[in-house]
Chains A and B, each alone.
Chain A
Amino acid sequence: MSQLKNKLNTTAFPKENRVVFFVFWIMCVLILAGPYAPEARAVNIRSSVLLLHSYHPDLVWSRNVSKGVKTVLGTMPFPVDVRSEYMDTKRMNDPEYLDKLEEIYKVKYEGRKPDVIISADNNALNFLVERGQSLFPGVPTVFLGVNDFSEAMLKGRKDITGVVEAVGISGTIDAALRLYPETNRIVAYASDTSTALSNSRLFLKSSKEFTGRADFELKTGMSAEEATRHAAMLPQDTAILILSYLKEANGEIHPLEKTAKLISESSSVPVFSLWGFMLGHGIVGGKLISGVNQGETAAGMTVRILKGESVDNISIVRSSPNAYMFDAQQLKRLGYNAAGMPLGSTIVNKELSFYDRHKVKVWGAAGVFFVMVAVIMVLCRAVLARRKAERELRSSKERYDLVAKGTNDGIWDWDRNTDSVFFSPRWKEIIGYEDHEVANDIEEWKSRIHPEDYERVMDANNKFFKDHVDRFMVEYRMRTKKGDYRWILGRGTCLRDSEGQPYRLAGAHTDITERREAEEELRYLRNYLENIINSMPSVLIGIDASCNVTQWNMQAEKVTGLSSEKALGQSLGEAFPALREDRNRIMSAMMEGATLVDPPRVLNLKGEARYKDFTVFPLSGDDRGGAVIRIDDVTQRVRLEQMMMQTEKMMSLGGLAAGMAHEINNPLAGILGNLHNLRRRVYSDLEVNKQAADKVGVSLTDIRAYFEERDIPKLLNGIANSAGRAATIVRNMLSFSRKSDKHFEYHNIEQLLEETLELASSDYDLKRKYDFKKINIDRDYASGLPAVYCEGNEIRQVFLNLIKNAAEATSEKSYEGENPIISLRTAKESGMLVVEVEDNGPGMAEEELKRVFEPFYTSKPVGAGTGLGLSVSYFIVTDQHEGKMEVESLPGSWTRFTVRLPVG
Chain B
Amino acid sequence: MMMHRIMVLDDDDQVRDSLVFFLEDEGFDVLGAVSGEDALEKLSEGGVEVVVVDLRLPGMDGTAFIHEAHKKWPELSFVMYTGSPEFRIPEDLASLGCVSPSLFLKPLIEPEAMSSEITRLISEK
Chain A residues near B (Cβ < 8 Å): 658, 661-674, 676-677, 680-681, 684, 686, 688, 723-724, 727, 730-731, 734-735, 738, 740
Contacts and interface: CB of A to CB of B under 8 A. Distances in A.
A672 B109 contact: yes
A573 B86 CA distance: 59
Contacts of A667: 12, 14
Interface in B1-16: 12, 14-15
A731 B24 CA distance: 28
A738 B21 contact: no
Interface residues of B, number: 22
Contact of B83 (A661, A735, A738): A661
B102 interface: no
B120 interface: no
A489 B14 CA distance: 107
Interface in B44-64: 56
Nearest to B21: A677
A729 to B, nearest CB: 12
A734 B85 contact: yes
A164 B82 CA distance: 198
Given A666-B12, A723-B107, A724-B109, A673 B18 contact: yes
Contacts of B73: none
B25 interface: yes
Nearest to A670: B14
B63 to A, nearest CB: 15
B107 A727 contact: yes
Nearest to A724: B109
B86 A658 contact: yes
B22 A677 contact: yes
A666 B86 contact: no
A735 B105 CA distance: 13
Task: Give the interface SS of chain A, mostly helix, strand, loop or mixed.
Answer: helix
B69 interface: no
A681 B106 CA distance: 21
B116 interface: no
- Most A C-beta atoms less than 10 A away, residue of B22, B107, B108: B107
B18 A665 contact: no
Given A672-B109, A673-B107, A663 B25 contact: no
B25 A688 contact: yes
Interface string B68-109: 000000000000001111100000000000000000011111
A674 B56 CA distance: 21
Contacts of B17: 674
Contacts of A662: 56, 82-84
A727 B12 contact: no
The interface residues of chain B, by DSSP majority, are classed as mixed
B86 A668 contact: no
B108 A669 contact: yes
Given A658-B85, A673-B15, A677-B18, 13 more contacts: A662-B56, A671-B14, A672-B109, A673-B21, A674-B18, A676-B111, A680-B25, A688-B24, A724-B109, A730-B85, A735-B85, A738-B86, A740-B86
Nearest to A663: B83
A250 to B, nearest CB: 197
Contacts of A666: 12, 14-15, 83, 106
A54 to B, nearest CB: 191
11 contacts: A658-B85, A666-B15, A667-B14, A669-B14, A669-B83, A670-B15, A671-B107, A673-B15, A674-B18, A676-B22, A738-B86
Contacts of B25: 677, 680-681, 684, 686, 688
Given A674-B18, A680-B25, A686-B25, A669 B106 contact: yes
B1 to A, nearest CB: 11
Nearest to A668: B107
A665 B107 contact: yes
A501 B79 CA distance: 123
Contacts of A680: 22, 25
Contacts of B12: 666-667, 669-670
A676 B12 CA distance: 17
Nearest to B112: A676
B19 interface: yes
Contacts of A658: 84-86
The 5 closest A-B pairs by CB, nearest first: A670-B14, A673-B18, A665-B83, A669-B106, A669-B107
Nearest to A654: B86
Nearest to B13: A670
Contact of B18 (A676, A735, A738): A676
Contacts of A674: 14, 17-18, 21
Contacts of B111: 673, 676
A686 B25 CA distance: 7
A754 to B, nearest CB: 16
A73 B16 CA distance: 195
Nearest to B22: A677
A651 to B, nearest CB: 14
Contacts of A686: 25
Residue with the highest number of chain B CB atoms closer than 10 Å, among A665, A669, A681:
A669
A670 B106 CA distance: 9
A681 B111 CA distance: 14
Contacts of B108: 669, 672-673, 676
Contacts of B14: 666-667, 669-671, 673-674
Given A673-B107, A681-B25, A688-B25, A661 B18 contact: no
A743 B14 CA distance: 34
Contact of A668 (B22, B82, B84, B106): B106
